[in-house]
Amino acid sequence: MSSAMAHPSSKNGLALAIMALSMFLLSVGDVTVRYIGTTVPVGQLIAIRGVMLITILLLMMRVMRDPLHLAHITNRWAMIRGCSELVSTYCFFISIQLIPIAVSTTIVFIFPVLLTLVSIPLFGEKVGGFRLVAVAMGFLGVMIIAAPSSEAFNLAMIYPLITAVGLVVRDLATRQINHDISSVSIILTTAIVTSIGGFLSIPLGWASGWGGWVAIPLTLYSVFMIAAMLVACSFIAYVMAIRLGELSVIAPTQYMVILWATIWGAIFWHEIPEPRAWLGGGLIIAAGLIILWREHVKQIDRTPSVLPLE
């Protein structure tokens, strides 16, 4: 174990700053995706961004001298992780086209609560009163945000909820991946699987009458590249942060992505969350922070997940 991992507390300040940068880059990436998504179908967006991300990751592995092993890329759990990420990506990209980006991002952050809930039957964890209250708070927050303001329930709220479920599966699969497989290799598998899933939208889109591909202006490809680079840079910053500092200290910084989503939504789309969105979002964030605090107190040893909204 390196000295940085053995004594991280002295570097927590730097780690917090890097994690904050990671969340900023992630939020800007979501903005670019929403911008592209106004003219490009989700499947096509995922496929093209994925190909560019694969190229960037391969260059990273070459620079880092991280050997490319077929057995690592095709690892069963890495593939399962990629499939769950594909579902999450599809649903999140669709959701930010249908509902305010801040609302969608906030609902997605119910996933730490869901992860705590499934840890009871899967890992036999004993969940005490604090975390049970946190679980209840998280679900109450979602109910408040998703409650109908008119005659009908907004079905679009289902998409960020499915995204959260996909992230739970992703994290569970990540814990099963062998430690000798590098983080970049794992993300490469995810990028490959999601890209393939994006390309599958061509026949499925035309067959269903939804999601067919369109001609993309050359100028828009530069935006695609920016989106892919933002994801890659956000990932690098995230890895640097968790290697420098204590996860229990820096993990709450991930919630900054909600703040940035709120700011970007207000600036670019004039989306000001309703009072109930603030209340529900506050409950979800509080629930996640309580869970993180209890995990720190109990010193629960868990493999950190890669970015929540990759």
Mean pLDDT for all residues in the chain: 84
Residues 162-202: tens digit of each pLDDT:
999 999 998 888 888 888 888 888 889 999 999 999 998 88
Measured CA to CA in angstroms, residue 244 lies from 5, 12, 13, 19, 251 at distances of 7, 7, 9, 10, 12
**Distance in angstroms (rounded) separating the CA atoms of residues 231 and 158:** 24
Domain chopping of the chain, boundaries: 12-298
pLDDT at 198 (0 to 100): 93
Residues 70-123: tens digit of each pLDDT:
999 999 999 999 999 999 999 999 999 999 999 999 999 998 888 888 877 776
Instruction: Tell me the mean pLDDT in the region 20-31.
Output: 95
Q: How does DSSP classify residue 7?
A: S
**Distance in angstroms (rounded) separating the CA atoms of residues 114 and 221:** 36
pLDDT at 58 (0 to 100): 94
pLDDT at 308 (0 to 100): 52
User: Looking at 77-81, 131-135, 216-220, 306-310, which range is the least confident one?
Assistant: 306-310
Residues 213-246: tens digit of each pLDDT:
888 989 999 999 999 999 989 988 887 887 787 7
Flag whether pLDDT at 306 surpasses 80.
no
pLDDT greater at residue 207 or residue 84 = 84
pLDDT at 268 (0 to 100): 96
pLDDT at 237 (0 to 100): 87
End-to-end distance of the chain based on CA atoms, in angstroms? 27
Residues 64-83: tens digit of each pLDDT:
888 999 999 999 999 999 99
